[in-house]
Amino acid sequence: MTTTLRGASLDASSVPVARLPRPGAAVLLGAGPPVATLGGMPYRVCVTYLLRERDGVAQVLLGRKKTGLGVGYHVGLGGKLEPGETAVEAAVREVAEEAGVTVDPSDLDPRGELLYLFPHRESWSQRSSVFVTTRWQGEPTESDELVPAWHDVADLPLGEMWDDARQWLPGVLVGGHVSHEFTFGDDLATVVSDRPLRAS
């Protein structure tokens, strides 16, 4: 089945923002996968958000993690680039592996870049390419890694996602772009500083 989003009438300013956990509060780690670094440089990863419209409501596919760090957290579909892969190639592969659907590379809409810095555990630092798509083949199914589920874009489970997601994901899902750097604190879960991503 090919699914296509037909322009949802949703403005980024109308998307609610979840309350951040208080400092010191218990937080599950790992709304995204930890990655190694090579020569001190963050590894490249990708994340893709599938969008659809149902009864005039824009929805996004997120996966609840089943294993590893961040069990129970909602994440986009994605992961680490394999040697020789482009971000687009990795996005196509990861969507198939994690949700069982096929995306044509030409249907991936690049929405920006994110840099995650973990000064207290540098091996987790990563640079992520962000994609959105409204077309794919197949129906999302559970995998060994994720339990996929549709969420209204206007009611994202931001309290159960990466701490940074509240600052950029709602806007990206309604047509925006992102280019930002986030630094996480010593709890490895809370954003302690952020700034626009410097051109490389």
The reported pLDDT for the residue numbered 67 is: 82
User: What three-state secondary structure class fits 68?
Assistant: coil
CB 50 within 8 A of CB 136: yes
On the question of pLDDT at 155 being above 50, the answer is yes
| Residue % of the chain over a pLDDT of 70 | 78
Res 11 pLDDT > 60: no
Give the C-alpha separation, 16 to 181, whole Å. Answer: 22
CA distance 143 to 135: 20
**pTM, whole model, 2 decimals?**
0.80
SS3 letters across 102-136: ECCHHHCEEEEEEEEECCCCHHHCEEEEEEEECCC
> What's the maximum distance between 2 C-alpha atoms anywhere in the chain?
49
Round to the nearest angstrom and report the end-to-end CA distance of the chain: 39
Query: Which pLDDT tens digit goes with each residue over 76-93?
Result: 999 999 999 999 999 999
Is residue 115 within 8 A of residue 77, CB to CB? The reply is: no
CB 130 within 8 A of CB 47: yes
Cα separations in angstroms, 9 against 72, 116, 153, 176: 30, 31, 11, 14
Q: How many Å apart are CA 155 and CA 183, to the nearest integer?
A: 26
Residue 187 has phi, psi (to 5 degrees) of: -85, -5
pLDDT for 59 beyond 50: yes
